[in-house]
Amino acid sequence: MKVKIINMLRRIFFASYYMVSLIYIPMLYNKAYRRGTLSYLPAEDFEIWKKSMLKMLKEFCQAGNNFIIRQVINSFAKSKIHVIRKCEIYTKNTPIVVLCVKNDLRRIQMLVDHYRMLGVERFAIMDNGSDDGTYEWLLAQQDIDLYRCFEKYKTKVKEGWMNRIISYYGFDHWYLLTDSDELLTYIGMEEHPLSDIILYAQKNGIKRIKGLTIDMYSSKSLFEKTDDIQKEFRWMDTDTYFEKETVAGKQKFKHYVGGPRYRLMDSCVKLSKYPLVYFDKGTISDNAHYQFPHELLPLSPCYFGILHYKFLDTDFDEYKKRALKDSGYHLGGHAYKQIMKYIETAGRSGFFYSGSIEYKNSDSLINIPIIKKIPF
């Protein structure tokens, strides 16, 4: 009886919150459009973003959760993002790579080189106040459209930033959403650029393509000095991944967990991502892992291996800081608390074990049964 009463009160609360939001959010967005942060948007696109945000909020309220998603909605309208450089020329058959970065020069250089190799012609990168040379390096790259925001990072606030960057280019385009420590790979990528994937997806009515995040590691201890990231971090788990049921809004679907952090730390962080996305009118990046509307999430095969370079020597102090405070990372730093707890008990013992497989080229992904070969 007590549970039923609590659930009834939650439904009443969220229904009331949504009714208030029907007044508040249009007022917030209209003000931002008239004389503020959204004044650059074409009128049609502005109305689509506003109505889609309300539609997304309604779904989360019906599911009994809106406290996090409202950060995405507010950040999109309120954040002060400075356009440093934006090129008007880009092609429709290659994706625009979109990400946010702060003080991550080595990895961002690796990332840009990787996607240039895969045929990317345009990057849209937001710098969150870097002071280690990252911003200056980005500014020197003519194929990178550059944005800047100095506001405090939070996971859901960042999703508002990602949507804002996308809104500068508009709907009906392919985007590749990533983080600076991730490299998207797929079986056969040495022969097939990303434009081939887009052509395949368009022919088969696919608008989002799923990937498995793969923690890459070296044969040494965690956080040891790294000179060549890809050369040293070339090992991966292949037999520790499995599916679990999850929910986005009201949509149930399967996501992946596992890898070395699960094997050694009992960490169940979500490893599924949908990085390559066709942004129809009304698409919103509401999560670092997936997008709204959520009905498309169960439909995509897993074609990507997302190589994740997370345990560099320069990362330790930052992860320790995230574990000690509510930084907005992974629900208050829980994943980083697990890392620090592991180090307290096992020292900096590395991830390498008898089942580790060396990543030599994209054919190495065949060793992970979850990842399928794209039938070009």
Q: Computed over its alpha carbons, how large is the radius of gyration of the chain?
A: 21
Helix, coil or strand: residue 276: strand
The whole-number pLDDT of residue 330 equals 44
Looking at the structure, do residues 175 and 291 belong to the same domain, yes or no? Answer: no
CA 284, CA 159: separation in Å to the nearest integer?
9
Residues 360 and 298 reside in one and the same domain: yes
Instruction: Examine the domain organization and report whether 267 and 307 are in the same domain.
Output: yes
SS3 of residue 152 by DSSP:
coil
- Identify the domain boundary among 179, 194, 218: 179
CA 142/CA 119 separation, integer angstroms: 15
What would the DSSP string read from start to end of 58-97?
HHHHHTT--TTHHHHHHHHHH---EEEE--S---SSSPEE
**8 A C-beta contact, residue 331 and residue 263:** no
Residue 10 lies in a domain: yes
In a domain, 63, yes or no: yes
Cis peptide, bond prior to residue 293, ω within 30 of zero: yes
Say whether pTM exceeds 0.85: yes
Confirm whether 164 is domain-assigned: yes
Per-10-residue mean pLDDT, the chain, length 376: 69 83 95 96 98 94 79 96 91 92 98 98 97 98 97 94 98 97 98 97 96 97 93 97 90 93 92 97 95 92 96 90 65 78 84 96 97 95
Greatest pairwise CA separation for the chain in angstroms: 64
Do both 161 and 294 map to the same domain? no
pLDDT at 3: 66
Q: Is 75 inside a domain boundary?
A: no
Looking at the structure of the chain, the number of domains it has is: 3
Pairing of strands 242-248, 174-177: unpaired
CA–CA distance, 156 with 153 (Å, rounded to integer):
9
DSSP tag of 225: -
pLDDT at 329: 46
* Same domain for 168 and 134: yes
The answer to whether the beta carbons of residues 178 and 289 sit under 8 Å apart is no
Same domain, 234 and 349: yes
* Residue where one domain finishes, among candidates 153, 179, 205: 179
Q: How far apart are CA 300 and CA 306, in angstroms?
A: 15
Count CB atoms within 10 A of the CB of residue 35.
9
Three-class SS of residue 352? coil
Q: 25 lies in a domain?
A: yes
140 and 168 belong to one structural domain: yes
Can you tell me the distance from the alpha carbon of 317 to that of 361, in angstroms, rounded to the nearest whole number?
31
Domain that holds residue 282: 181-376
